[in-house]
Structure 1
Amino acid sequence: MLDKSRSDRFDAWPETLQQEITENWTNCRVGSHLASETETLRIWHLHLQPGERAPFHRHEETYFWTVTGPGKSRSHYHDGSVRDTVYTAGDTRHFQLGAGEFFVHDLENTGTTPLVFVTVEFKS
């Protein structure tokens, strides 16, 4: 769970975000739409309009995402960090998560164009 003993990391977060991350700690819905699932993988689509935000969710599988167009985002992470990212069409990022590894974050579209991601999770 959220490490409240290190509450100084979360002091700048609004109370609503602190509450939401705790409530969504085990939410593994990493996209807005599950496009396909087999025994070995899940393919998610995520669409965020400017100003829209995906709730906190947990990544615990090895995965990659590709963004289909340019944009900007901000994410709050379970370690208290906040990261802003700028994307160009086709950007792809891979994440290798071992047994028991995970991270929890949200994703807000801070740009002026829709953000569209395709995420592929490799089921353990």
Structure 2
Amino acid sequence: MKCIELNSEGNFDPWDPSKLKELQKKEFDDRIGQKLLFENKTIKVWEVILFPGERLPFRKISGNYNFTSMTEGLAVSRSANGKISLVRINKGDSMFMKHEGQESIYDFENIGDNILFLHAMEFKPLVEKTDGLKVRFEI
């Protein structure tokens, strides 16, 4: 997977006005994918299928997750800080997104000719128990 920065943070001049309006509404989803395939006390597994021209709207993500691509394609991702990245995805590519509770707001759009098919594994946050130990779930 290769990411190329098309636009730097803080510069909203080249942005499509409809995307800026969407950001200003602040109606963000917190789902990583379109369809939840599996969930237990520690993880959620999501599916994303984007046909050419389809897009996941802006989402507010604060958890860590890993995604793996089942297909190759080309995408663009816009961040609420103004950054725009071009993403070249190869079949089998995997990437870990570390948020550690810090909120990030971004979208993801298929701008290629192929269907993008991704699986994402979202890691639920650690739960701190009263004895100071951190665990992934309550026992």
**TM-score, length-normalised on structure 2?**
0.77
Q: Which has the higher helix share?
A: 1
Q: Give the match for residue 82 of structure 1.
A: 84
CA distance in 2, matches of 1:57, 1:85: 17
Identical-pair percentage? 28
Superposed CA deviations along residues 62-92 of structure 1, whole A, max 9, x for unmatched, are 1100010110000111110110011111100
Root-mean-square deviation over aligned CA pairs: 1.4
> Which of 90, 93, 96 is the matching residue for 1:94?
96
| Structure 1 portions without partners, runs of 5+ | 1-7
Contact kept in structure 2, 1:70 and 1:88, CA below 8 Å: yes
Contact 2:68–2:119, Cα closer than 8 Å, also in 1: yes
**C-alpha separation between the residues in 1 aligned to 2:58 and 2:66?**
18
Amino acid at match of 2:52: P
TM, length-normalised to structure 1: 0.86
- The number of residue pairs the alignment matches comes to 116
Is residue 28–residue 58 contact of structure 2 (8 Å, CA) maintained in 1?
Answer: no
What residue number does 1:122 align with? Answer: 123
* Alpha-carbon separation, structure 2, partners of 1:22 and 1:119: 27
Instruction: Answer whether contact 1:40 1:123 (CA < 8 A) is retained.
Output: yes
